[in-house]
Amino acid sequence: MRIKFLIFAISLIQLSVTFAAVPIVESKKDSATAYVSKDDEAMVKNAVAAFKSLSKKERKAKIADAKQMLKIYKAEKAAGEPSTNTLLLAILAILLPPLAVYLYEDEINTKFWLSLLLTCLYWIPGVIYALFVILS
């Protein structure tokens, strides 16, 4: 699934570079660009060059493919994770609520901090909140 998302992301980058009205500002880099290697940059540049060399009909076909892949990705994401992952996260939510919320969200956000605060105040509210986040 991550490979499909990577292909989709590269297709969107190709589209944004081709059809962008405003050039991308190089000085404003976010934390996500810090992890991009030189090989990835070269691969993206090659993909953009290949996309620019296509005819209009082929570009439209690529755009349609990217939209179809986006629909598939959204449908898979809406379907959710397998029940075994949810079960393991629920067990972890009982033992370590903030860790379970972090693993479910894949980032440290307000849900994580709220879970940590509730767990520090008393363990039971942290468990209830973590189970609510994971199972909702």
Q: Are residues 57 and 93 in the same domain?
A: no
Instruction: Note whether residue 31 is domain-resident.
Output: no
Q: What's the pLDDT band for 2 if we cut at 50, 70, 90?
A: low
Give the total number of structural domains in the chain. 2
Q: How many CA atoms lie within 13 A of 107 on its CB side?
A: 4
88 and 124: one domain? yes
pLDDT of residue 14: 60
27 part of a folded domain: no
Is 81 a residue whose pLDDT tops 50? Answer: yes
* In a shared domain, residues 75 and 44: yes
User: Distance (Å, rounded) from C-alpha 29 to C-alpha 36?
Assistant: 11
**Is residue 17 in a domain?**
yes
pLDDT at position 20 is: 44
Containing structural domain, residue 58: 2-22+38-79
List CB contacts of 117: < 8 A, sequence separation 6 or more: none
Using CA atoms in the order 126, 128, 134, 135, what is the torsion angle rounded to 10 degrees?
180
State whether 50 and 73 are in the same domain.
yes
